[in-house]
Amino acid sequence: MLICADQDIPDVRNAFAKLGDICLLPNDGITRKAVANATIVLVRSQTKVDRSLLQGSNVRFVASATAGIDHVDQDYLRKAGIGFAHAPGSNANSVAEYVLAALLCLSRRRREPLSGKRIGIVGVGQVGSRVARFCQALGMHVLLNDPPKQRQTHSASFLPLRHLLEADFITLHVPLTHSGPDATYHLFDRDRLAELSRKSVLLNTSRGAVVETNALKQLLQNKMLGGAVIDVWENEPEIDLALLRQVDIATPHIAGYSWDGKRRGTGMILQATRKFFGIKPAAAAILTSDQLPSLSRQAPPRCPDDAFLENLLKKFYDIEQDDARLRRIELLPRHEHEDYFRKLRRDYPCRREFGARQIELAGKNSDVASQLTALGFSVTVCERGA
């Protein structure tokens, strides 16, 4: 069978080679004509999957190597009898690590420790729950909001959204939905943004349209908000440059772009494809990630401060490099902006998750080792450092 796949899905040719003939296409090459004779179509978030792409084709199964699915018309797929799968949670570690990197960066810039600060987490799914664990490990006070989970569990751990609006940080981890009791389109609109504390910092790694751009821009311009970290943008790849200039950290929708997360996503859609077509799963593990060489560090005499953690984290990910790359967009002619934004995503450098490298910690401070482990690092304690 013919498999049409986005060429930027990591290792997609090797992963799917035994299932059929593979045609790799650039994102903008996944067209109605290109997929007409395909049995399987594999996409990423830039491809809109709906009737206009698939009507009249031979496609029986679509998979998106992404956690988000707002680019897929699932109702149409169901009615057309086309199977569908995606990769929920594949990039959850990556996004949570991005949030941690942003928090530590802001801590350094503002010379304010994170311990004791309050953070409101809106959406406590695969990503939000990891962010909560990281923030608790940092000694932050964590406030949770997730109406669907609250209704399901009746847990007192979940608070109404208004109870989070005075927090020092508010981070968004919700899907983009336009209808229903928990619609998230412009969840943070002009009115809700106006309720935030003047010292609050808003972090958005979910979808750009969860926040009303013009309202956020105005609040930041008028110094009515403590700051913002924006990875996702309304109308991307055409982003609002005035908002870009106002935010503390700006990145091109790459929070979930770790090498490990991408490979995990490829493996998940491969297994889902095998299951749909009744193909026996491979006996060996799929697309296992290589372990990086270990890293030696001297344990601090007490729980590590934010500077120690940020310096360690930068061995894996320097968020300020992503920020600097995106800000170079203003040096380009306007007509090149969208292509540049896409290029930053397409050619994103290899970024590994915290667990990909063993941290050899010299010293016997068990509190330090416990905290680093809680933050997702792989830690071994040794007698002396390198």
Cβ atoms 83, 61 nearer than 8 A: yes
Given a cut of 60, whether residue 384 has pLDDT beyond it is no
Is 122 within 8 Å of 164 (Cβ atoms)?
Answer: yes
Note the pLDDT tens digit of each residue in 238-259. Answer: 999 999 999 999 999 999 999 9
The contacts of residue 19 (CB under 8 Å, 6+ apart) are 1, 3, 40, 273, 274, 277, 279
pLDDT of residue 284: 43
Instruction: Check residue 364 and give its pLDDT.
Output: 66
Q: What is the pLDDT of residue 382?
A: 80
The mean predicted confidence, pLDDT, of the chain is: 92
Q: What is the CATH number of domain 92-250?
A: 3.40.50.720
Quickly state the pLDDT bin for 285 (edges 50, 70, 90). Answer: very low
Query: What distance separates the 2 farthest-apart alpha carbons in the chain?
Result: 67
Contact 188, 150 (CB under 8 A): no
What is the rounded average pLDDT of the residues 51-62?
97
Q: Could you report the per-residue pLDDT of 260-283, keeping only the tens digit for each?
A: 999 999 999 999 999 999 998 664
- Tell me the pLDDT tens digit for each residue of 196-234: 999 999 999 999 999 999 999 999 999 999 999 999 999
User: Could you please report the per-residue DSSP string of 348-384?
Assistant: PPP---GGGEEEEEES--HHHHHHHHHTT-EEEEESS
CA distance linking residue 383 with residue 386, whole number of Å: 10
Marked catalytic residue, from 253, 263, 325, 352: 253
Of the listed 44, 86, 130, 207, which one is catalytic?
Answer: 207
- The reply to whether 112 belongs to the active site is no
> How would you class 293 by CB atoms within 10 Å of its CB: exposed for 0-12, middle for 13-18, buried for 19 or more?
exposed
Q: Is 253 a catalytic residue?
A: yes
> Strand order in 83-85's β-sheet?
21-25, 2-6, 40-43, 61-64, 83-85
236 is catalytic: yes
Homologous superfamily in CATH for domain 290-317+352-386? Erythronate-4-phosphate dehydrogenase, dimerisation domain (3.30.1370.170)
Closest C-alpha among 294, 285, 308 to residue 365: 308
Read off the amino acid at residue 49.
V
pLDDT score at 386: 42
The CB-side HSE value for 69 (13 A sphere, CA atoms) comes to: 16
Q: What is the pLDDT of residue 140?
A: 97
Q: Which CATH architecture has domain 2-86+258-276?
A: 3-Layer(aba) Sandwich (3.40)
Average pLDDT for 320-329:
98
pLDDT the model gives residue 385? 43
Task: State the average pLDDT over residues 85-90.
Answer: 95
**Residue 92 banded pLDDT, cuts 50, 70, 90:** very high
Q: Please compute the mean of the pLDDT values over residues 119-128 and round it to a whole number.
A: 97
> In CATH terms, are 92-250 and 290-317+352-386 the same topology?
no
CA distance 210 to 360: 41
**What SS3 class is residue 227?**
strand
Query: Distance (Å, rounded) from C-alpha 195 to C-alpha 181?
Result: 21
Of 212, 234, 236, 353, which is the active-site residue? 236
Q: Quick one: pLDDT at residue 290? A: 65
3-state SS class at 62: strand
Residues in the chain: 386
Give residue limits of the domains in the chain: 2-86+258-276, 92-250, 290-317+352-386
Q: Structure pTM?
A: 0.90
Q: Which residue has the higher pLDDT, 10 or 328?
A: 328
Whether 91 has a pLDDT exceeding 70, the answer reads yes
pLDDT tens digit sequence for 145-170 = 999 999 999 999 999 999 999 999 99
Chain centroid to CA 295: how far?
A: 25
Residues 258, 260, 262: CA angle, nearest 5 degrees: 70
